[in-house]
């Protein structure tokens, strides 16, 4: 069941009454929810709640909290650093990687980026990520960092405790399970633009681990989704098998 965003769940208890307002109220109203229907709330910061719809006014809905569940942070966090893509393909990237559990996004303006970031680029990505966690009941809203160039992004990735991993177009490259990344690693997958990386940008990749995502050349957004899915599968399998 799709959830509704309510960031203050950590301050509430069973039996409390809250008011759902503004955009979240609009979403509830257009879906024609009825009194006493169960409603799922999502804080985006590790809390989910079941609530009962008590009443609806013209501006807000009254809900009674039935149960609050705290969810631990992701065991295998990962990030995606991606060049801005044309035709909003990067929006699909953000949506689907959020559904797979990405915890950070680092949008980049690279040498061959087809489009430029606008004043609302980060806000747009953040709204897409929020919509995605509500759809898939992911209680952790990923952070979208400001648009940076590649060199700045690599510094910020390191500062935030992630290990940059280059997603290569080489078909004979190293697969993710061969890369020496333990399940406790915090990879940030680097996704280039449609036109590839520039020569100077390749110089920044010296010493970085690179992985292959398959035998075919994919779109950039497909590469990001594939990298995310492969990491989730690998990290969970490594944990189950007790390997690092």
pLDDT, position 170: 66
* Cβ atoms 33, 39 nearer than 8 A: yes
pLDDT, position 78: 97
pLDDT, position 239: 64
pLDDT tens for 136-166 read 989 999 999 999 999 999 999 999 999 999 9
Closest CA to 220 of 181, 164, 169: 169
The list of the chain residues with pLDDT below 70 reads 1, 170-172, 239-244
Give the three-state DSSP class for 81.
strand
pLDDT, position 106: 98
pLDDT, position 135: 93
In the chain, where are the structural domains located? 4-70, 79-241
pLDDT, position 241: 60
pLDDT, position 173: 77
pLDDT, position 244: 52
Q: Which CATH architecture has domain 4-70?
A: Beta Barrel (2.40)
Helices (H), 56-206: 89-99, 121-136, 150-159, 199-203
Q: Specify the CATH superfamily of domain 79-241.
A: SPOUT methyltransferase, trefoil knot domain (3.40.1280.10)
- Report how many helices (DSSP H) and strands (DSSP E) the chain contains, helices first: 6, 11
């Amino acid at each position: 069941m799709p959830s509704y965003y309510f960031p203050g769940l950590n301050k509430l208890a069973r039996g409390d009454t809250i008011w759902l307002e503004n955009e979240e109220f609009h979403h509830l109203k257009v879906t024609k929810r009825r009194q006493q229907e169960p409603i799922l709330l999502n804080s985006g910061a590790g809390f989910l709640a079941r609530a009962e719809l008590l009443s609806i006014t013209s501006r807000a809905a009254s809900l009674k909290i039935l149960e609050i569940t705290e969810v631990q942070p992701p065991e295998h966090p990962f990030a995606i650093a991606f060049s801005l893509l044309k035709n909003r393909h990067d929006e699909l990237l953000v949506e689907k990687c959020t559904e797979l559990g990405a915890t950070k996004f680092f949008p980049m303006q690279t040498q061959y980026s087809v489009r430029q970031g606008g004043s609302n680029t980060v806000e747009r990505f953040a709204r897409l990520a929020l919509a995605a966690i509500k759809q898939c009941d992911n209680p952790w809203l990923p952070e979208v960092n400001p648009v940076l160039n590649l060199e700045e992004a690599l510094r910020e990735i390191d500062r935030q405790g992630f290990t940059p991993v280059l997603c290569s177009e080489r078909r004979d490259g190293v697969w993710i399970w061969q890369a020496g990344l333990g399940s406790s690693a915090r990879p940030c997958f680097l996704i280039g633009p449609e036109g590839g990386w520039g020569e100077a940008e390749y110089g920044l990749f010296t010493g970085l681990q690179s992985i292959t995502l398959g035998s075919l050349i994919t779109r950039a957004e497909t590469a990001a989704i594939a990298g995310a899915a492969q990491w989730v599968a690998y990290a969970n399998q490594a944990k189950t098998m007790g390997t690092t």
